[in-house]
């Protein structure tokens, strides 16, 4: 009997790549995202090419009610792996950005993550095993001007993951948090972030590293040498300097350019 994994934001990007990665490693899948057609395409591919069992559940996790319905649908079910991947970004000066979009972002990246983790943990604890994989960002390590709420939400995710790992140290449950940098996904387009075409690591590469390192029991996973350097510098520079450094880098890359 295959192990099972639940993945949020599984219709594209890193979530989609992780669906294929887990399927290739013998996991049946429960996939959720807001785009039903794209989600069904991922499911069909996993079934046809790999032969695992796949269920889909369409939900917009920006809506707390939809998250509640999802949690009811998985109640009392056991998952060997939970992947909290769903998320999106909001770019711009905080004084000018849309607060509704930012609160929806926090619902997806924080509230849904907390609620789903709370929902699957009892079964993992009862069966003495499981893995939780939270998809954060290299921005977890630093405040980021023009993406203030987004970077803060990723810092929350990293802090929460580390605290939860400590709480679960007497169990056989592993908490891993992945902190990728620029990745070739639709994420940046949705956030209105300009960047060079095809820059960054592929979602498939991030997923492969994340799965391999999670399987080894690694807690904080930073894929790629440049991202490791960024994380190191961010952790050791004073906040006033790191924000200036990031603003300069993002200005050079065109990330902060107004659309």
Q: 154: helix, coil or strand?
A: helix
Q: 178: helix, coil or strand?
A: strand
Q: Where are the alpha helices (DSSP H) in the chain?
A: 13-24, 36-45, 64-73, 99-106, 112-126, 148-167, 187-190, 203-215, 225-236, 239-253
Name the maximum alpha-carbon separation found in the chain. Answer: 53
Which tokens hold the place of 188? 């940046």
Residues 6+ apart with CB under 8 A from 111: 64, 67
Candidate list 150, 160, 187, 230, residue with the active-site label: 150
Task: Give just the sign of the alpha carbon dihedral 242, 153, 9, 35.
Answer: negative
Task: Check: CB of residue 217 under 8 Å from CB of residue 175.
Answer: no
Q: 145: helix, coil or strand?
A: coil
Active site (annotated) includes residue 150: yes
Which tokens hold the place of 97? 């950005």
Which tokens hold the place of 150? 């987004």
Q: Return the active site residues.
A: 150
């Amino acid at each position: 009997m295959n192990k099972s994994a639940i993945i949020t934001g599984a219709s594209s990007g890193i979530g989609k790549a992780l669906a294929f990665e887990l399927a290739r490693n013998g996991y049946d899948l429960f996939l959720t995202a807001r785009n039903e057609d794209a989600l069904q395409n991922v499911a069909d591919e996993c079934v046809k090419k790999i032969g695992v069992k796949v269920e889909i559940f369409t939900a917009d996790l920006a809506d707390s009610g939809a998250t509640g319905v999802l949690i009811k649908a998985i109640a009392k079910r056991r998952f060997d792996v939970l992947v909290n991947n769903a998320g999106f970004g909001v770019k711009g000066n905080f004084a000018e950005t849309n607060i509704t979009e930012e609160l929806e972002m926090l619902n997806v990246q924080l509230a849904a993550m907390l609620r789903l983790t709370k929902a699957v943990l009892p079964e993992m604890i009862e069966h003495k095993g499981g893995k939780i994989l939270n998809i954060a960002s290299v921005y977890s390590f630093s405040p980021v001007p023009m993406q203030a709420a987004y970077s803060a939400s990723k810092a929350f995710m990293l802090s929460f993951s580390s605290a939860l790992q400590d709480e679960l140290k007497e169990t056989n449950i592993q908490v891993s948090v992945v902190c990728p940098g620029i990745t070739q996904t639709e994420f940046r387009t949705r956030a209105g972030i300009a960047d060079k075409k095809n820059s960054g690591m592929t979602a498939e590469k991030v997923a492969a590293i994340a799965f391999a390192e999670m399987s080894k029991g690694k807690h904080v996973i930073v894929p790629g040498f440049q991202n490791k350097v960024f994380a190191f510098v961010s952790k050791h520079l004073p906040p006033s300097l790191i924000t200036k450094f990031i603003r300069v880098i993002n200005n050079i890359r065109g990330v902060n350019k107004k659309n």
